[in-house]
Amino acid sequence: MDTLLTAGASHFGLTLSEAQLHAFENYYRELAAWNENINLTRIIEPDDVAIKHFLDSLSIVPALPQRNKPLSIIDVGSGAGFPGIPLRIAIPEVKVTLLESTAKKTNFLQHVVNTLELESVRVITARAEEAGQQPEHRERYDVAVARAVSRLSVLAEYMLPLVKVGGYVIAQKGQNPAEEIEAARSALRILGGQLIKVQPVAVPGLDGERHLVIIKKTKPTPKLYPRQPGLPNKESL
């Protein structure tokens, strides 16, 4: 795993220390152990986890905006901690919030954060629709990230309310997401987002297309959004 991670991380401009590689190894061990009792991932072989979870998460790094102070990142629908925990391991100065609605998964996330002694990481058990209306989370983050948990029109309503004006949403997608983007144009306009670019990504060892959809928040999100839990997915904008 170390060799894969070292070579793969360098592809994204990262140099991992021995301590960081050790953290990834411990993360993998905890993931494998907890996965026996909780359905965290179907991918569990060490090399597969290194490529399909860890390096795939780090593929976001080249798209992160440059700031004079540490970035605040919220990982929406974090699941087993991807991409938030790998980002925090690889870039220790970032501040990460892991947002996940399932308590069993947030118990795992908190255990990993404690076990790896990851500072500046907090775990929140809540739906994105709830967090987006809470003052401690609404428009508080520089960047919101998510893997392909929902179609883009829904993700926009989950994520844009959490981001500061001038901040970014970075959504990880697989195959060319042009159709999703076209369907999301109305939602972006309503929610205060502007599509910046669709960035193709090559993850070492991973076949298939990967893309990052990068959206900038250009104006405040109207207070109506996000709507009540479940409604964005049922009736997307």
Region 214-236: mean pLDDT is: 96
pLDDT(208) > 90:
no
Mean pLDDT of the chain: 95
Helix (H) or strand (E) holding 57: helix 56-58
- How far is residue 40 from each of residues 101, 150, 217, 233, measured CA to CA in Å? 13, 18, 31, 22
How far is residue 128's CA from residue 228's CA, in Å, rounded to a whole number? 10
Region 6-28: mean pLDDT is: 97
pLDDT(38) > 90:
yes
pLDDT at 104: 97
Q: Which amino acid is at 67?
A: R
pLDDT at 46: 95
CA angle centred on 175, ends 171 and 179, rounded to 5°? 80
Residue corresponding to tokens 């102070």: 69
Work out the pLDDT band at 209, boundaries 50, 70, 90. Answer: confident
Token duo for residue 190 = 């309503």
Q: Report pLDDT digits (tens) over 95-148.
A: 999 999 999 999 999 999 999 999 999 999 999 999 999 999 999 999 999 996
2-234: CATH topology is Rossmann fold (3.40.50)
Work out the pLDDT band at 68, boundaries 50, 70, 90. Answer: confident
pLDDT(66) > 90:
no
pLDDT at 176: 81
Region 19-35: mean pLDDT is: 98
Work out the pLDDT band at 225, boundaries 50, 70, 90. Answer: very high
Nearest to 51 by CA among 162, 210, 179: 210
- Helical H segments across 97-194, by residue range: 103-115, 128-131, 152-159, 178-191
How far is residue 137's CA from residue 97's CA, in Å, rounded to a whole number? 10
